[in-house]
Structure 1
Amino acid sequence: MNREDEVLAVAAVLIIKKLREPKKRRPNKSWIEKKATYSHINLIRELVNQPDDFRSYLRMDETTYRNLLHLVTPIIQKTDTVMKSSITPHERLTATLRFLATGRTYEDLKFSTCISKSALSKIIPETCDAIYTVLKQEYLKFPKTTAEWKNIALDFQEKWNFPHCLGAVDGKHVQIRTPPGKVVVPGQPHLNYVFVGDEAFAMRPDFLKPYNQRELNNEKRIFNYRLSRARRIIENTFGILANRFRIFHTSINLKLDNIDKVVLACCALHNFLRRNSANSYTPNDVFDFEDISTGTTTPGLWTQPENLLNPASSHSRHHSAEAKDVRTSFKNYFNSS
């Protein structure tokens, strides 16, 4: 046998040996397959007997959770296949609520849910979208008529003593359309309808902000106080939202369209829980309290920990003459009453 034949014979032996060796199987994550043992669904089942812990875990009581599950199930329920049972709506919703409540990553959340990271990356945005879809009509209804806008303005006047205010803005300035011009209502001041915000926003004829601290006199200080009272409600709201849903205390590492779904779902859930679980979701001490007799304000629990949503300062300090005139008209009104 020559040299070449010897090499071929050795190669043939090695190939035959390799073919006879049993193939190494990729180790599967057997713990993920054992949901019945390791999933947090077992914990949730036990928490039903501990109402306070149940609320802390899912940010709502069991009755409210069951109501929400009933609403989203038709959208998030999947069909079982011959090869595999689908992930149930209960598992999908609880995983999503834990993601919103804690801000944990998919990689971290997979251990408590026994759902793979890749599956969570699809389930959570889908469920957030479903939450927003089923709640938006009732809990995120945007005013559409002049009468609805006027009702909001009336609420601001009755609760915060700020007339013709259509809303308070913080965090993100959204382009919105206000009722046109001045609307004269019998017994009401001849003032523009406006939104109010803080120093971060540019002033416009339909958007008021405080006077700069360096230029305050007594009249401007009164205006700032009245505007602050009207604006405080949105600061409270954002503070509560961020502290109940800790996802806002993290850098949300998702695709941009999925971030929209997360934010909208949290906003819808906030209003849903305010109406259905107000005593536990937002007890009275969570809001700022103002003592009218002394003029002092006690910060609510929403301030602990720090309020995350502090918008960057606006670089524009040049306001239109019309915007200044509108603010002056409100200042004069507050100092005449």
Structure 2
Amino acid sequence: MTWRQLHGDYDHLLQELNKEDRKGHKNFLRIYPALFEEMVERLTPILKKDTKIRLAQEVGLKLVVNLRHLASGNDYSSLQYSFRVSKSSISRFIPLVCQAIIDTYKPEVMNYPKTPEEWNDVAKQFASKWNYFNCVGALDRKHVAIKKPKGGGSLYFKYKKFHSIVLMALSDAKYRFLFADVDAEGGAGDGGTWQKCNLARAITNNRAGLPQDRNLPNDDEPIPLHIVADNAFALNPWLMKPYSHQSQDPTERLYSYRLSRARRVV
């Protein structure tokens, strides 16, 4: 029996959580045991690459190290002691596992709407679940901390004193990503980053397939279908944000509340 099998988290802690503490398993990896087992099964044909010299590491082990890294942000040096897998091995297989997850699940879980009918389906979800109408997505961004790129200068340096790249994401009313863009430098402003991403350009150039303006309930004036965001983004007919002034009247406060509640899904 190997040192990893005797002391590693994959062979001990994870098995304990799987049998006795499903919520703990969810907290540890951000997914429940059933989804973890499904992912192992579906990723095995891609990641299980035995050679004549040695057997490949278990797909379950690679996946749990990868998910723990994504869930916690623990670096490779920390993970190697928890799972008894060398840092060099972790650095090799984590990018492969991430790519395998993307290739396997992206067509199923990130369906970017392309037609008016598909955008209308998103708007119906926001109307029924959050009581906010004519909304086709909630937009936000997250700065992902990185090491300073070689020759990057201040391009990636964020005002909060770390280097980052920006994850820009649009989600539907059920907390599911519809679109993601991950390549902007953290030193750029949030609004400018959004204007440069493919989705913003498609909407601006009328290539996104958004439906025609339509009336709100109990109203006779057509209103554009739009994205909801916070005050970091520029106001547009197709992008709404809460009122920013402090002295909001009751109608403005109600609108800001409804919009902010719908935006929280992202």
Give the TM-score, by structure 1 length.
Answer: 0.54
Give the match for residue 37 of structure 1: 6
For residues 117-139 of structure 1, give each alpha carbon's deviation from its aligned partner in whole angstroms, at most 9, with x where no partner exists: 11111211211111121111111
> Which has the bigger relative contact order, CA under 8 A and spacing at least 6?
1
Q: What root-mean-square deviation, in Å, do the aligned CA atoms of Structure 1 and Structure 2 show?
A: 2.6
For residues 29-76 of structure 1, give each alpha carbon's deviation from its aligned partner in whole angstroms, at most 9, with x where no partner exists: xx9x63333332321334433133434433333322111111111111
Give the superposition deviation at 1:87. Answer: 1.4
Count how many residue pairs are aligned between Structure 1 and Structure 2: 202
Pairs within 5 Å for 1:1-337: 34-43=3-12, 44-52=14-22, 53-82=24-53, 84-171=54-141, 172=168, 173=194, 174-176=197-199, 177=203, 178-179=208-209, 182-184=212-214, 190-214=222-246, 216-234=248-266
- Find the aligned partners of 1:182 and 1:194 in 2 and give their Cα distance: 11
Change (3 A) 1:205 1:140: same
Give the superposition deviation at 1:186. Answer: 10
For residues 144-199 of structure 1, give each alpha carbon's deviation from its aligned partner in whole angstroms, at most 9, with x where no partner exists: 21101011111212222222111111123454134457334797751111111111
Question: Helix, strand or coil: the match of 1:49?
Answer: helix
Q: Sequence identity, in percent?
A: 30
Give the unaligned 5+ runs of structure 1.
1-30, 235-337
User: Is the 8 Å Cα contact of residues 51 and 61 (structure 1) preserved in structure 2?
Assistant: no
Q: Which has the larger radius of gyration?
A: 1
Change (3 A) 1:180 1:34: closer
Q: Which has the higher strand share?
A: 2
Q: Which has the higher helix share?
A: 1
Question: Helix, strand or coil: the match of 2:262?
Answer: helix
- Find the aligned partners of 1:131 and 1:109 in 2 and give their Cα distance: 20
Give the unaligned 5+ runs of structure 2.
142-167, 169-193
For residues 221-254 of structure 1, give each alpha carbon's deviation from its aligned partner in whole angstroms, at most 9, with x where no partner exists: 33323322322322xxxxxxxxxxxxxxxxxxxx
Give the TM-score, by structure 2 length.
Answer: 0.67
